[in-house]
Structure 1
Amino acid sequence: MVLSIKSRRDEVGLTAGELLIGDAWRPAADGRTWTHAHPATGEQVGEFAVAAAADVDAAVRSARRAFDEGPWPRSRAKERIRVLHRIAELIRSHAGELDTLLALDNGMPLTFGQAYAMSTECVADVFDHHAGWVDKLGGETLPAYQGGEHAVLTLREPVGVVAAVVPWNAPLLLAAQKLAPALAAGCTVVLKPSEFATFALLRLSRLIEEAGLPPGVLNVVTGPGETTGDALINHPLIDKITFTGSRTVGRRVMAAAAEGTKRVSLELGGKSPSIVFPDAEVYAAATVTMGTVTLGLSGQACVAQSRALVHRDVYDEFLAIAEGMAGLVTYGDPFDPGTTAAPMINERHLHRVLGYIERGQQEGARLVCGGDRPDGELAAGNFVNPAVFADVSNDATIAREEIFGPVLAVVPFADEDEAVRLANDTSYGLSATVWTGDVKRAWRMTRAVRAGTVGINGYQLEPHVAFGGFGRSGLGREGGRGSIEAYTEVKTVLLPTTDELM
């Protein structure tokens, strides 16, 4: 039997994806399209427009007009709140449709979409959360410091036109984390989905349009990063770039931002440690840690705890449980309730992950299990059997670089000081988990580990708290008050209250 998603594709009845520029959906000016191949089967899913530089220019200029002349940046708080809540309602009412499109985009199993952090419910909650900030986004009134009688105050105003570039692994959630605060602040946006996960975001964009957003406030350009993306981030009329993706592309975004003195927010991944002490519940630590690199997206997530630092006293126990967990992973049709994990997003990334597994062995780490490709009906897909590496040096490539696949590197440590040193011996700093039964140790480790989010005996994503990283994991935060403030500029106002000169 050959694995196929054709029946689901045909059931959805996808039409060619178009660009949203101003108030119209249209094909690319030169007629170019991209054909998306499903990562689990290699079958064609559908086509969408490839925006050339001229299309990107039209989209940015549409957003510029909507910001400079349109009603959205000057709208009352009540109106923005209404629209954002309406977006959330539409997402909830179209949850099944969006889940199906996401499974056709990146192969994420429908069962994983039921986990809150990856669910459309969470996506809707992100819009509801930022709707709650709209009428609380204020400045300050300060006492005069010197001079005559005058008032000193600050205002927060929208930053302007935002370029939002979203990756393929969690496109709905990551788009929401950018669109919701930008729209709440009064900005206009040009959204670029990944060419490997486009259809779910095209549908989300139509729902946002349906919610009552004025024309030009949201524009969508689709296509590869090398052409469409570069034209967008380098456009002179963009005021802010928000990007989630690889560090390599992040450097290009920073260069473009520097050239135009654009504001920038970046989330560039991680090599996050799961730190397991001997007084921890080892079974829970091993299953949760291994789950982050095997279940759902198969480790293709920035928060995957792909570096397990395990105390020598429980090292063998942890490895045995992790190996057993790897054996429970089920690949297959993303629409099958029994499927628990996704393929690698494309063939190029598949071979990249396999290359890391080979390098791990060459550098002396012990491959406990996995690391090969399944055969049979799965042979046509981009699947990799989950790999567990033991006896890994923290200097090894597989312990230092973000693999973005189902690979766990297990590093032993002897005491708390060594655990801290190993945890912080990385250029990343996105997240970490500390597993211990000692609350005092948990607090010491939380303060000592350099990471944007630290979980104690577990890890989860929340839509209303700051998310981002230290070091080369990026710049800025998404979620919470800081997220919406990142889409604003502060204006200082000096107002005389008498006829005297200040």
Structure 2
Amino acid sequence: MTLTVQPHRESVGLKTGQLLVDGQWGPGSGGGTWTHRHPATGEEIGEFAVATAADVDAAVESARRAFDSGAWSNSRAGVRIKLLHRYADLLREHAEELRSLQALDNSVPLSFSGNIYATSVEAAADVFDHHAGWVDKLGGQTLPPYQGGDHLAMTFREPIGVVAAILPWNAPFLLFAQKVAPALGAGCTIVLKPSEYCTFTVLRMVELLTEAGLPPGTLNVVTGPGDPVGEALITHRDVDKISFTGSRGVGKHIVEASAGTLKRVSLELGGKSPALVFADAPNVGLAAATTIGAVTMGLSGQACVANTRALVHREVYDEFIAAAQGMAAAITYGDPFDPGVLSCPLINERQLDRVLGYIEQGKREARLVTGGERLGGDLAAGNFVAPTIFADVANDATIAQEEIFGPVLAVVPFSDEDEAVRLANDTEYGLGASVFSADAQRAFRVSRKLKAGTIGVNGFQIEPHLPFGGFKQSGLGREGGLSAIEAYTELKSVFMPLTDELM
């Protein structure tokens, strides 16, 4: 039976996507549209407007007017707090609708978006609640006089201005929240560009934000591909800060493009995250299931922080591979609305060809344990790749160093703790890592030595109040926690004499 998602499209009630500029929804000025095809079936799902450079300019001008008016940027803390909490409640109320829209966008199955916290609507709502709590705590300092005399030395935090927020397609709930919540909490205005491969979900999230009472112009939306829409946004003279999640290549381009006006930049650029499995791991089978699950379940390895390198002690090497192979065999594919489906296809044909190319490279570099092929039969119209495990991988191999962004796990053996740490850090990336060991001292010791932004011990989780971001070429800055909302502010110093005497 040929796989189709069209019946779900009708039941969800998908709308034609439009731009949001100055509080008004409408088509792009050039009349261009993008037709979205479902990655699991190749079917046409819907159309949305492709913004022109003029549309981007209008969106940025709207955000600038809104910021300069002070309607949001100078609003009282209580106003912003109430709106962010109100929006969090709306997200929870519409969770089922949003999860269904995502399944039509990127084919992430409902079984995953409903049960895995980091990709859930609940996580996004929690991020808004968390940042609402910081709004009335973004204070500065009053410092004692340094040179003597009677004066005040003070610091203040003020919103940075107009923010360009550029989202990827793979985790729209969380990544929308991680950018929009702190920016709004700080008092900024925003021009948002969703990925062309996950637009309808984001547009509905924006609709709910306007329903929550956000003033017109505070959040504007331009849709379409990176060229020309994203390019027009990152090079715009009136954008004060860019927040981007995506590929390392695009991130480097954003840094270059921002240099002309010295825009502030926050980047999360992916990783080649290791899982270090020691011989004394509490449960080697569970460690294997956790690691291969992150590479295959839900997003099919299309997650920046997935542990795509497994560094495994030689004493438990065979046990780990056998358990990982068993877990890989249990992954199911198909209709994302089917509760029995556990994973999704690759997002488009370009990514499919890229991943298959890496797999062919892997066959020349290491031992293929399982997978390594495109799935056919009823799934032939989709971009499905079987869970793939390579063993006996050298850490300098292509498949151990480059971010594949697909369901491919490279297993590398090690002999002792020093070697494990050296191998883990031998990469240009540094986003995340996991350590599996029953020895608490070792787990803590190794965690401190790893050059990565987030470390999980015998498990991994992303929390709204913890900073998330990477070392080295995994990016700049952090999302989550106090550091995230502070990144949307400028720090100002004020000196004020309290007498008429000359200092």
What secondary structure sits across from 2:412 in the alignment?
A: strand
Residue 71 of structure 2 corresponds to 71
Q: Which amino acid aligns with 1:80?
A: R
Aligned counterparts of 1:201 and 1:54: Cα–Cα separation in 2 = 22
Residue 24 of structure 2 is aligned to residue 34 of structure 1: no
Q: Which amino acid aligns with 2:476?
A: L
What secondary structure sits across from 1:4 in the alignment?
A: coil
Aligned counterparts of 2:353 and 2:414: Cα–Cα separation in 1 = 31
Aligned counterparts of 2:149 and 2:137: Cα–Cα separation in 1 = 31
Aligned counterparts of 1:229 and 1:409: Cα–Cα separation in 2 = 33
Residue 350 of structure 1 corresponds to 352
For residues 22-69 of structure 1, give each alpha carbon's deviation from its aligned partner in whole angstroms, at most 9, with x where no partner exists: 010010001100000000000011000000100000000000000011
What secondary structure sits across from 1:372 in the alignment?
A: coil
Residue 181 of structure 2 corresponds to 180
Residue 104 of structure 2 is aligned to residue 104 of structure 1: yes
Aligned counterparts of 1:486 and 1:113: Cα–Cα separation in 2 = 29
Residue 298 of structure 1 corresponds to 300
What secondary structure sits across from 1:181 in the alignment?
A: helix
What secondary structure sits across from 1:124 in the alignment?
A: helix
Residue 152 of structure 2 corresponds to 151
TM (norm. structure 2) is 0.99
Residue 51 of structure 1 corresponds to 51
Aligned counterparts of 1:273 and 1:501: Cα–Cα separation in 2 = 61
For residues 227-255 of structure 1, give each alpha carbon's deviation from its aligned partner in whole angstroms, at most 9, with x where no partner exists: 10000000000000000000010011111
Residue 89 of structure 1 corresponds to 89
Instruction: After the TM superposition, list the runs of 4 or more consecutive aligned residues in structure 1 that deviate by more than 4 angstroms.
Output: none
Residue 420 of structure 1 corresponds to 421
Residue 286 of structure 2 is aligned to residue 284 of structure 1: yes
What secondary structure sits across from 2:73 in the alignment?
A: helix
Aligned counterparts of 1:10 and 1:76: Cα–Cα separation in 2 = 42
For residues 267-314 of structure 1, give each alpha carbon's deviation from its aligned partner in whole angstroms, at most 9, with x where no partner exists: 000100000000111011100000000000011001100000000011
What secondary structure sits across from 1:410 in the alignment?
A: strand
Residue 229 of structure 1 corresponds to 230
Aligned counterparts of 1:439 and 1:134: Cα–Cα separation in 2 = 37
Residue 4 of structure 2 corresponds to 4
Residue 481 of structure 2 is aligned to residue 480 of structure 1: yes
TM (norm. structure 1) is 0.99
Deviates further, 431-440 or 140-149: 140-149
Residue 13 of structure 1 corresponds to 13
For residues 373-422 of structure 1, give each alpha carbon's deviation from its aligned partner in whole angstroms, at most 9, with x where no partner exists: 11111000000001000000000000000111000000000000100100
What secondary structure sits across from 2:259 in the alignment?
A: helix
Aligned counterparts of 1:31 and 1:181: Cα–Cα separation in 2 = 33
Aligned counterparts of 2:88 and 2:404: Cα–Cα separation in 1 = 34
Following superposition of structure 1 onto structure 2, how do residues 258-269 of structure 1 map, counting pairs within 5 Å? Answer: 258-269=259-270
Deviation, 1:361, is 1.1
Indicate conservation of the 8 Å contact 1:102/1:108, yes or no. Answer: yes
Deviation, 1:70, is 3.6
What secondary structure sits across from 2:61 in the alignment?
A: helix
Residue 431 of structure 1 corresponds to 432
Deviation, 1:147, is 5.3
Aligned counterparts of 2:190 and 2:141: Cα–Cα separation in 1 = 27
Following superposition of structure 1 onto structure 2, how do residues 85-484 of structure 1 map, counting pairs within 5 Å? Answer: 85-114=85-114, 115-146=116-147, 148-280=149-281, 281-363=283-365, 365-484=366-485
Deviation, 1:224, is 0.1
Q: Which amino acid aligns with 2:299?
A: L
Aligned counterparts of 1:374 and 1:72: Cα–Cα separation in 2 = 50
Q: Which amino acid aligns with 1:101?
A: L
What secondary structure sits across from 1:73 in the alignment?
A: coil
Aligned counterparts of 2:467 and 2:15: Cα–Cα separation in 1 = 37
Deviation, 1:148, is 3.3
Aligned counterparts of 1:90 and 1:437: Cα–Cα separation in 2 = 42
Deviation, 1:117, is 1.2
Point out where structure 2 has 5 or more consecutive residues left out of the alignment: none
Aligned counterparts of 2:279 and 2:93: Cα–Cα separation in 1 = 46
Q: Which amino acid aligns with 1:308?
A: A
What secondary structure sits across from 1:230 in the alignment?
A: helix
What secondary structure sits across from 1:323 in the alignment?
A: helix
What secondary structure sits across from 2:260 in the alignment?
A: helix
What secondary structure sits across from 1:47 in the alignment?
A: strand
For residues 407-438 of structure 1, give each alpha carbon's deviation from its aligned partner in whole angstroms, at most 9, with x where no partner exists: 00000000001001000000100010000111
Aligned counterparts of 1:314 and 1:258: Cα–Cα separation in 2 = 49
Indicate conservation of the 8 Å contact 1:464/1:479, yes or no. Answer: yes
For residues 437-487 of structure 1, give each alpha carbon's deviation from its aligned partner in whole angstroms, at most 9, with x where no partner exists: 111111110111111011111111111110001000000000110000000
Point out where structure 1 has 5 or more consecutive residues left out of the alignment: none
Aligned counterparts of 2:253 and 2:228: Cα–Cα separation in 1 = 13
Indicate conservation of the 8 Å contact 1:51/1:222, yes or no. Answer: yes
Q: Which amino acid aligns with 1:385?
A: A
What secondary structure sits across from 2:48 in the alignment?
A: strand
Indicate conservation of the 8 Å contact 1:73/1:187, yes or no. Answer: yes
Q: Which amino acid aligns with 2:80?
A: R
Deviation, 1:259, is 1.7
Indicate conservation of the 8 Å contact 1:17/1:199, yes or no. Answer: yes
What secondary structure sits across from 1:334 in the alignment?
A: coil
Q: Which amino acid aligns with 1:260?
A: T
Aligned counterparts of 1:67 and 1:59: Cα–Cα separation in 2 = 12
Q: Which amino acid aligns with 2:439?
A: D
What secondary structure sits across from 2:356 in the alignment?
A: helix
What secondary structure sits across from 2:352 in the alignment?
A: helix
What secondary structure sits across from 1:304 in the alignment?
A: coil
Indicate conservation of the 8 Å contact 1:148/1:501, yes or no. Answer: no
Aligned counterparts of 1:60 and 1:397: Cα–Cα separation in 2 = 41
Q: Which amino acid aligns with 1:296?
A: G
